[in-house]
A and B are shown apart, each in its own frame.
Chain A
Amino acid sequence: MHVPQSKIRNKSKEGEEAKALVLLDRVRRGDRSAFSELYQQYHPRLYGYLLRLLANPVMVEEVLDDVMLVVWTDARKFRGAAAVSTWIFGIAYRKALTAMRANRRYQSRLDRNADLDAIASESMQHAEWIRAGLAQLSPDHRQVMELTYFGGFSYQEIAEIAGCPVNTVKTRMFHARRRLRILLPVLAGETKEQSSERA
Chain B
Amino acid sequence: MRRTVAALLRKDLTAERRTLESIPAMTLFTVTTFVLFHFGLDRDTLEGDLASGVLWVTLLFAAVLGQNRLFVAEHEQGGFDGFLLAPVDRTALFVAKALALFAFLCVVEVVALPAFAILLLGPGLLDPLPGLILTLLLANAGIATVGTLVAGIAIRTRARDLIGPLLTLPLLVPVILAASEATAPLLAEGGAGGPPARWLAILAIYDLTIGLVAYGVFDFLLED
Genuine A/B complex: no
